[in-house]
Structure 1
Amino acid sequence: MRRDAPIFQPRDAGYAARVRASFERQRAMELIGARLLLVEPGFVEIELPYREDITQQHGYIHGGIVGMIADNAGGFAANSLVAAGASVLTVEYKLNLVAPAEGERLIARGEVIRPGRTLIVTRADVFAVKAERWNLCAVMQQTIMALPDKAERTA
């Protein structure tokens, strides 16, 4: 569970099931082996186990992959606060890679900073976990656009 973060009220009582279903439709997350661990109003946690096939030349998980899970953590945190029947889309993000993504797994924690009607500002921290020691490896700030009455594809 998150700490020291604002608590937001979801606009959709079924937000958690809706977010989980949306995550399941993300073929990119399936491709890299990411799992959605936790969904709370305005907060999401994603886990990515280490796999050799998603590393770069030094054996660290590739920065592009780190960006993928950070983007999704922030995006799904935002998605948890939109109305039923709405969806979200990333407008931009800034990612700082602050340490190598080296460990048995990565954990991305995304949270909403400001839930606007049209634009939602989020942040995500990505941790590399090795021998149960958590090392911050990336920090992201993101802007998400809420798309009212724009449902996601279902097939």
Structure 2
Amino acid sequence: MWVSVEDDLFNNIYNKLKSDPIIQKQLDGRVFDSAQKDAVYPYIIVGETNVTNNESTTDMVEDVGVTLHVYSQAPNRHEATYILKILGYLLNREIELNDYEFKRSRIDNQEVITDIDQYTKHGIIRLLFKYRHKTKY
């Protein structure tokens, strides 16, 4: 039975962002895994994931999509766009995980929209990661 890389990847991304000096400087470490009711802006949410796997009798390869959200209340979209650029720089690369072989990553989608309150800028970046399982559990 194969165990998905999804949880390990999510936790690695979350912890990497929480401890990254660039994120610390820009956002005082405001990285969360769910929406914040009384948030201090700007902040990042490591959000939704989805998995597509390709399994054979001897091998398992997974594509894992991870969506991150940036929330800013700056007067223009520049702050949200800048933070998305940082996220792409930090995460669109090899992330080493035990029991999994990194194959590739890429930015699948990136955008900044204005939320329904007509003031908050909402940046969205979706990254795709491909991993091959080294072991079977």
Alignment TM-score, normalising by the size of structure 2: 0.43
Alignment TM-score, normalising by the size of structure 1: 0.39
Larger Rg computed on CA atoms: 2
